[in-house]
Chain A
């Protein structure tokens, strides 16, 4: 197991008012993302627990793009990764933000 953590200045506050959302599953090649609205509106943090070691540089790039492209202010995202490919990770992160900005769905 490897544990990684990244904290960034967010572009904008995440929309909506939900305080918690979860998407995905912990399975081989997949991941679970829990997103909580617990930080100041200007901050975003991503904590990662991953089964695959040695991919820190890719995680860093995925997280940096994520924070740059999405409105993530106030969000703390916790990832349980089962060795997902970077494209799957990027999709799940984006979905997590979409989910917490939903009112009710």
Chain B
């Protein structure tokens, strides 16, 4: 007779193994390592909560210090590989296999360890894709998560940085896995219940608050004139003509410039209320002037941002907040919102090839994708119409019958033709391909595929790829905005001229953009201090952004 409930039996055994090291659900800090060694089994799939921002750092160091004779060959399934401990577990042999999404600060070391064979790579995912696999074939046996506070029953308050936690817990707790939470404090009653206690098996109080990285703060003072010019081009050449109201912004300086130009340049163009009213977006400090000027109606967030808590609390008409008043973020829902309910994604990248494929992988860094491939792709399942979506679909297929024609999401890549240290944005061959060859990957880590990209914006102008009718036109449209990179200088000048005459390429002068406006004085805020003023003193920037 087959045992249909072997997982429940196994869960009971794990819980029983853990209980001697706990008092009820509470595990003392001193017992944490022995506790983990008792609960974990070799080969387990483990989600060590590493989100884009919030990190279960205490649990990470405890796991990295585990006795390898007891805990080994784990399969880590987590969205962010962010802390050194996330890779130490591989260095020590505690873990063997990795499926992840994003590795920002560890991008150089992860590349080295992949080359050195220290990590067996499953795949690099977009967030939503990894979350989806939690429910199909990457379900965690054990989840090690982070929350702000817990009560004695294990009810958790995750605070503004809820991020991935509900998704991780859902997949683990309802499939016979063990959920272990680190919290900053144990309280009698949590401010709000983000995770119900019956989904949480054990709680450990950390000796210091979990680590959160301010990832979305861009100092307006560091925005260049070239970035301001690209922002003007985007607003006048894309936001305005398509009437883009629902959108997601990337986290780079070009989109920060757009956010800071809405109340100045956007106002001058009469666009208030007509564009950029609803966002799937983290609470970017650079958006404060636009919010305060009445541009923004609603924002749903993946996570929070350090320093924005009081501001968000005081602007509950704009943000999603709980009964306790603080932000409720949720990465999975916000990713879905970005995929299905936004008409545009606009963000920067590191490399774009002649087909428009884009990647943030370079020869020595594997940064992963995060949410970009999801935000920056057309949702095949979308069925509700909107003006920008229909217009983009029409441009791509002008002769198709309107009632049967799919709309298109606007997927815009924005950047200057040269990046830091004179590195060209445009390349003949993506480094991602070279990397895939070296690591023998079946799939190169392409962030956004060329066939999803609708526009490329550089200081040279806008290339509208929807209007390109064949591969050659597409290549010349891209070369036409690639400036003085090798790719740009290799353009066919006559063909680029024809594309410009058709409006496939639009230069600043075609859009009647005055280049003298490309100046810092056009930004609604010129410093982090200005942002604090705009917020009425509610925004409290982290110390590294305070220079006054």
Question: A99 to B515, alpha carbons, bound, how many Å?
Answer: 10
Instruction: Check B516 against A85 for contact (C-beta < 8 Å).
Output: no
Contact of A95 among B224, B483, B516 (CB under 8 A): B516
- B162 contacts partner chain A, Cβ-Cβ < 8 Å: no
Q: Could you say which of A85, A98, A105 contacts B418, with CB atoms under 8 Å apart?
A: A85
Residue of A nearest to B485 (CB): A86
Q: How far is the CA of A91 from the CA of B509 in the complex (A)?
A: 12
B515 touches which of A61, A85, A88, A95 (Cβ 8 Å): A95
Q: Is the CB of A88 within 8 A of B226?
A: yes
B522 within 8 A of A: no
Which of B422, B507, B515 is A91 in contact with, Cβ under 8 Å? B515
Task: Please give, as numbers and ranges, the residues of chain A lying within 8 Å of B518 by CB-CB distance.
Answer: 91, 95
A62-92, CB under 8 A of B: which get 1 and which 0? 1000000100000000000000011110110
Residues of B within 8 A of A94 (CB): 515
Instruction: Give the contacts of A31-49 with B (CB-CB under 8 A).
Output: none
Q: Can you name the residue of chain A whose Cβ is closest to the Cβ of B417?
A: A87
A1 contacts chain B at the CB level, 8 A cutoff: no
A89 nearest in chain B by CB position: B484
Which residues of the other chain, B, contact A105 by a CB distance below 8 angstroms? 516
Q: Is the CB–CB distance between A85 and B422 below 8 Å?
A: yes
Would you call B516 and A87 a contact (CB within 8 A)? no
Chain B, range 199-245, C-beta contacts under 8 Å to A: 224-226, 229
Task: Provide the bound-state CA to CA distance between A58 and B485, in Å.
Answer: 9
CB distance from B434 to the nearest CB of A (A): 24
Contact B226 A86 (CB under 8 A): no
Min CB–CB distance A28 → chain B (angstroms): 12
Q: Which of B229, B483, B516 contacts A86 (CB 8 A)?
A: B483
Please tell me if B416 contacts chain A, counting CB pairs below 8 Å.
yes
Contacts of B514 in A (CB 8 A): 98
The reply to whether A62 and B226 form a contact with Cβ atoms under 8 Å apart is no
Residue contact B515 to A87, C-beta cutoff 8 Å: no
Q: A61-B489, A85-B418, A85-B422 are in contact. Are A90 and B516 (CB under 8 A)?
A: no
Considering the chains assembled together, what is the distance between the CA atoms of A98 and B229 in angstroms?
A: 15
Contacts of B483 in A (CB 8 A): 86-87, 90
Contacts of B489 on A, CB cut-off 8 Å? 58, 61
- A95 → B minimal CB distance (Å): 5
A85-B418, A86-B418 known; A91-B225 Cβ under 8 A: yes
Q: Bound state CA distance, A13 and B100, in angstroms?
A: 59
Determine the chain B residues whose CB is within 8 A of the CB of A99 once the complex forms.
Answer: 516
Query: Which A-B residue pairs are the 5 nearest by beta carbons?
Result: A86-B484, A85-B418, A94-B515, A95-B515, A87-B417
Residues of B at under 8 Å CB distance from A?
Answer: 224-226, 229, 416-418, 422, 458-460, 483-484, 489, 507, 509, 514-516, 518
23 A-B contacts (beta carbon < 8 Å): A58-B484, A58-B489, A61-B484, A61-B489, A62-B484, A85-B416, A85-B418, A85-B422, A86-B417, A86-B483, A86-B484, A87-B226, A87-B417, A88-B226, A90-B459, A91-B226, A91-B229, A91-B459, A91-B518, A94-B515, A98-B514, A98-B516, A99-B516
Residues of A in contact with B (beta carbons under 8 Å apart): 58, 61-62, 69, 85-88, 90-91, 94-95, 98-99, 102, 105
* New contact pairs (15) apart from A85-B416, A85-B422, A90-B483, CB-CB < 8 Å: A61-B484, A62-B484, A69-B507, A85-B418, A86-B418, A87-B226, A87-B418, A87-B459, A88-B224, A91-B226, A91-B459, A91-B518, A95-B515, A99-B516, A102-B516
